Amino acid sequence: MIDIILVNPQMGENIGAAARAMANFGLKNLILINPRDGWPNKAAEANSVGAFEHLNDIKVFETLKEAIAPYQVIFATTARPRDMRKKVFTPQKAIENILKENARTAVIFGGERAGLSNDDIARAHHIITFPTNENFSSLNLAQSVLLICAEYARQNLETDEQTLPTGKSELVSTEELNKFFDRLDAELEKGQFFRNQDMKPTMMNNIRSLFTRAYLTDQEVKTLHGIVSSLISNKTN
Amino acid sequence: MIDIILVNPQMGENIGAAARAMANFGLKNLILINPRDGWPNKAAEANSVGAFEHLNDIKVFETLKEAIAPYQVIFATTARPRDMRKKVFTPQKAIENILKENARTAVIFGGERAGLSNDDIARAHHIITFPTNENFSSLNLAQSVLLICAEYARQNLETDEQTLPTGKSELVSTEELNKFFDRLDAELEKGQFFRNQDMKPTMMNNIRSLFTRAYLTDQEVKTLHGIVSSLISNKTN
């Protein structure tokens, strides 16, 4: 488990959004260092959509130093690596490391305006930097917390096998597939397949769904057209 | 590369935040279906903090159907699996799949209030569900887009996999499925579908394969029987 520390957060809305991100992904402990608008905070409550009920009691400290006392490993998040000799991790590598070490770990995030100070970062063991676009790097506080929480949850999940359809032929485009559905729809109308017109949308959804999920190729859709042509040419007994 | 489609988005702020998430992680194409407040939108611009300059021109369509015509694979994002038989992926598994298949792929997101309709979802090949806390699942539109974009970027740097089973209905037995194939075979013979009898085994294998891979339920096989009955009752022109 990792705990989240927000250092000098300004807007209650962002504290609420951070809590929401944490609750979504099962994190429990949120610590606030010197929140600008005090605590508790109505804007935080409103923007959390109930997330605080899923967290342990929020702890508030005056200084980062006091807050991190019980932790063994601290990761500091920064938009860009600072001029300090620390290991810089992507979120993925950081969480891998955290799960491997199994130490009491906190991830700290700076306030909206200035991020973490050099003093704050100096207290951290490691740095996490988000691998954003070089030309557009603009994650806000709550987005950064969300990405850390989601990555933590992702790596805590078991992974699994998966089956893939077919060999080499080109997957059909949605447009071609829709032409087939339109034709099938028209032919089924002629054949009075939809005895109850109210049910037609649901039935067409089901039909659409079963064919879509098959990941049809161009060739297979041609085959299906051929099947329809063949069937409608049959004489009724 | 994946493209992002927002279906009936309501608040410009969320469109802006989605664009911001995309630009952070290098995605380029955003498509809007019937945005409530029209397009362009000032609130979107303001909340994007300049992200639109890093995207290609935004395309706006009236319907999802038109928008997805050029794509080969569609993933629909939903908070919870619907009662439709499609593969459900975590974001991680979805992106793995997308990178492996290298098809023209769009990920669609529903509007703030209601999410995607069943009609929208029926048009998708697969579902993406975020593995959030069972007791607190509350990702907003922009957060969901952010998680997809970040996961895409993460796997573009390096890789790693999950499929979950969906819906409740019973998979059809091989016996029932074979009865369907036998009937189809007989009807196709009557309709002179197999012009070249030497090719018949291969063609039947292809047909068998496309239906088998869809993992059909009992109910769906009944539907397919209904389709065949309906089609063969149609008059030939």
Q: Distance of CA B148 to CAs B57, B65, B230, Å? A: 20, 22, 42
The confidence band for B167, taking pLDDT boundaries of 50, 70 and 90, is: very low
pLDDT on residue A171: 75
Identify which of B147, B188, B220 has the shortest CB distance to residue A206.
Answer: B220
Residue labelled with tokens 């796997």: B155
**B136, A51: Cβ pair inside 8 Å?**
yes
Q: Which residues of A touch B86 (CB under 8 A)?
A: 209, 212-213
- Between A114 and B79, the more confident residue is A114
Cα distances (Å, whole numbers) of residue A7 to A30, A67, A80, B184: 11, 10, 17, 67
Q: Give the pLDDT confidence score for residue B83 in this predicted structure.
A: 63
Q: Return the H-helix or E-strand segment holding B198.
A: none
Most A-contacting residue of B13, B20, B24 (CB-CB within 10 A), to test interface? B24
Q: Out of A50, A158, A188, name the one closest to residue B227 (CB).
A: A188
Choose among B50, B73, B143: nearest Cβ to A146. B143
Please state the rounded mean pLDDT for residues B122-144.
89
Average pLDDT value for residue range B28-41 = 96
Minimum distance, in Å, between the CA of residue B77 and any CA atom of chain A: 15
User: Which residues of chain B neighbour A95 with C-beta distances below 8 Å?
Assistant: none
Of all residues in chain A, the one with the smallest CA distance to B90 is A154
Residues 6+ apart with CB under 8 A from A23: A48, A51, A54, A55, B133, B136, B138
Residues of chain B contacting residue A18, judged by C-beta atoms under 8 Å apart: none
Q: For chain B, give the mean pLDDT.
A: 86
d(CA B26, nearest CA chain A) in Å: 6
Residue of B nearest to A187 (CA): B231
Residue A82: predicted pLDDT: 65
Please tell me whether the interface predicted TM-score (ipTM) of this complex is above 0.90. no
Give me the tens of pLDDT residue by residue for chain A, a chain 237 residues long: 899 999 999 999 999 999 999 999 999 999 999 999 999 999 999 999 999 999 999 999 999 989 988 888 889 998 766 666 677 899 999 999 999 887 889 999 999 988 998 888 888 888 899 989 888 888 999 999 999 999 999 888 644 333 333 345 677 887 888 899 999 999 999 988 988 899 898 888 888 888 877 878 888 899 999 999 989 887 554
- SS3 per-residue string spanning chain A: CEEEEEECCCCHHHHHHHHHHHHHCCCCCEEEECCCCCCCCHHHHHHCCCHHHHCCCCEEECCHHHHCCCCCEEEEEECCCCCCCCEEECHHHHHHHHHHHCCCEEEEECECCCECCHHHHHCCCEEEECCCECCECCCCHHHHHHHHHHHHHHHHCCCCCCCCCCCCCCECCHHHHHHHHHHHHHHHHHCCCCCCHHHHHHHHHHHHHHHHCCCCEHHHHHHHHHHHHHHHHCCCC
CB A102 within 8 A of CB A155: no
Q: What is the distance in angstroms between the Cα of B231 and the nearest Cα belonging to chain A?
A: 5
CA distance A56 to A64: 19
Question: What ranges make up the beta strands (E) of B8-65?
Answer: 30-33, 59-61
Determine the length of chain A.
237
Percent of chain B having pLDDT more than 90? 51
Comparing CB atoms, the residue among A173, A190, A223 nearest residue B206 is A223
N-term to C-term CA, chain A: 69
Put simply, the answer to whether B24 touches A133 (Cβ < 8 Å) is: yes
pLDDT, tens digit, for every residue of A79-92? 766 666 677 899 99
CA atoms of B47 and A201, how far apart (whole Å): 38
